[in-house]
């Protein structure tokens, strides 16, 4: 659902919400405490209590996201909830997951967007048209047959927990996780962009992979192992574990409960607005103390097997 507010006034700066007044801070701190209390139910062993707690958790978010100041309050103490924001502070992407007894996960979230525009009015005055929108993310992943080619809206979102954000020329690349089920978990390299009318879209043809044209990339592997996907900003590369089945050959091909890192790494390199795949990269050489995000450490990736 798309909801927006329009406000017209004169200011000199576009940073509309940079300084939050004390009254607003007090309000958000109270809400933050309410969220923390409601979130305790997520640890319950009873699924019914987790689901009921999540309803209360969402009800609290529903009250606060209608305030545009929500974009600029960090909610740092609300843990286990991902809160991503680009450098230009155009939006805040909030996501979280709820584990279910059958091993699946339900995903929830909000996308808060600042579409403010500045129009010059003379030499010293500017008219700021403030447009704030918020969208509820409705997870429809259970009805999607092919996640890699699926293009979704906020109301038809392929749900996942987003863990990091990469700013590209005219879109945003997202790294996400999906617990999927008791045997297989998944990670994704997803894409978010905005149409000219401001409509957000998940999934875009920005991966230069012949004969495939995916809108996002999906990695499936055993729940018993961990997979690394990290962005190296200096090198403009996403470096990730290469996944392989437990035994070489066709016996376990496509049975992802037996897949895991084999100790090698592949990468995506950002070139001319697209992600270009690179095979068998040296993750150790990608590591640099000046990088904002460290490259994967091969020793941290526990392979299912060591290839011969």
Of the candidate ranges 67-71, 122-126, 178-182, 286-290, the one whose mean pLDDT is the lowest: 286-290
End-to-end distance of the chain based on CA atoms, in angstroms?
A: 53
Q: Read out DSSP for 248-272? A: SSSSSTT-GGGEEEEEEEEEEEEET
Q: Would you say how long the chain is, in residues? A: 308
Look-up: residue for tokens 């990290």? 230
pLDDT tens string 186-230: 999 999 999 999 999 999 999 999 888 899 999 999 999 999 999
How many Cα neighbours within 13 Å face the side chain of 86? 18
Domain map (residue ranges) of the chain? 1-138, 140-308
Q: How far is CA 124 from CA 10, 102, 138, 203, 230, in A?
A: 10, 61, 44, 41, 45
Whether the CB-CB separation of 66 and 112 falls below 8 Å is answered with no
CB neighbours of residue 185 within 10 Å: 23
**Beta-carbon neighbour count of residue 147 at 10 Å?**
21
**List of long-range contacts for 248-256, beta carbons under 8 Å, 24+ apart:** 248/307, 248/308, 256/183, 256/184, 256/220, 256/221, 256/222
Distance CA 280, CA 296 (A): 13
Higher pLDDT, 293 or 42: 42
In 3-state terms, what secondary structure has residue 118? strand
What is the reported pLDDT for 115? 87
Helix axes 47-64, 22-39, angle to 10 degrees: 170
What mean pLDDT comes out for the span 231-246?
92
Specify which of 76-80, 287-291, 299-303 reaches the highest per-range mean pLDDT: 76-80
Q: Give every CB contact of residue 122 below 8 A, 6+ residues apart in sequence.
A: none
User: Which range, 53-57, 68-72, 128-132, 288-292, has the best average confidence (pLDDT)?
Assistant: 53-57
Task: Examine the pLDDT at 14 and tell me if it is beyond 80.
Answer: no
pLDDT tens column, 98-132: 999 999 999 999 999 998 877 777 777 877 788 89
Q: What is the pTM of this model?
A: 0.84
Tokens of 85: 């924001």
- For residue 117, the model assigns a pLDDT of 79
Assign 3-state DSSP to the chain and report helix, strand, coil percentages, each to 5.
20, 40, 40
pLDDT, mean of residues 243-269: 86
Q: How confident is the model at residue 248 (pLDDT cuts 50, 70, 90)?
A: low
Average pLDDT value for residue range 271-283: 92
Query: Rounded distance, CA 269 to CA 228, Å?
Result: 16
CA distances, 121 to each of 14, 75, 116, 125, 127 (Å): 14, 36, 16, 5, 6
CA distance linking residue 116 with residue 4, whole number of Å: 11
Contact present, 200 and 194 (Cβ < 8 Å): yes
20-24, 156-160, 303-307: which is most confident: 156-160
């Amino acid at each position: 659902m798309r909801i927006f507010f329009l406000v017209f006034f004169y200011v000199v700066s576009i940073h509309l919400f940079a300084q939050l007044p004390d009254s607003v801070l007090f309000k958000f701190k109270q809400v933050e405490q309410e969220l923390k209390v409601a979130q305790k139910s997520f640890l319950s062993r009873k699924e019914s209590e987790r689901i009921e707690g999540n309803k209360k958790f969402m009800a609290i978010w529903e009250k606060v996201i209608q305030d545009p100041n929500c974009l600029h309050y960090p909610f740092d103490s609300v843990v286990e909830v991902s809160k991503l924001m680009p450098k230009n502070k155009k939006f805040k992407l909030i996501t979280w997951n709820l584990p279910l007894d059958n091993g699946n996960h339900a995903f929830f979230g909000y996308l808060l967007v600042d579409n403010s525009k500045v129009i010059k009015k003379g030499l010293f005055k500017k008219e700021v048209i403030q447009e704030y929108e918020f969208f509820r993310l409705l997870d429809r992943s259970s009805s999607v047959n092919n996640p890699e080619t699926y293009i979704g809206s906020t109301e038809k979102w392929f749900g996942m927990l987003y863990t990091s954000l990469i700013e590209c020329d005219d879109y945003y690349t997202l790294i996400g996780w999906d617990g999927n089920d008791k045997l297989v978990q998944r990670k994704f390299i997803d894409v978010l962009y905005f149409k000219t009318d401001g409509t957000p879209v998940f999934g875009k043809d920005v991966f230069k992979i012949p004969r495939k044209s995916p809108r996002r990339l999906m990695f499936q592997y055993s729940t018993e192992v961990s997979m690394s996907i990290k962005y190296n900003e200096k090198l403009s590369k996403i470096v990730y574990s290469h996944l392989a089945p437990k035994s070489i050959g066709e016996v376990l091909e496509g049975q992802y409960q037996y897949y895991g890192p084999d100790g090698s790494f592949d990468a995506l390199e950002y070139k001319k607005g697209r992600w270009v795949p690179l095979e068998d990269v040296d993750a150790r050489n990608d590591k640099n103390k000046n990088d904002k995000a460290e490259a994967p450490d091969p020793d941290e990736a526990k392979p299912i097997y060591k290839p011969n």
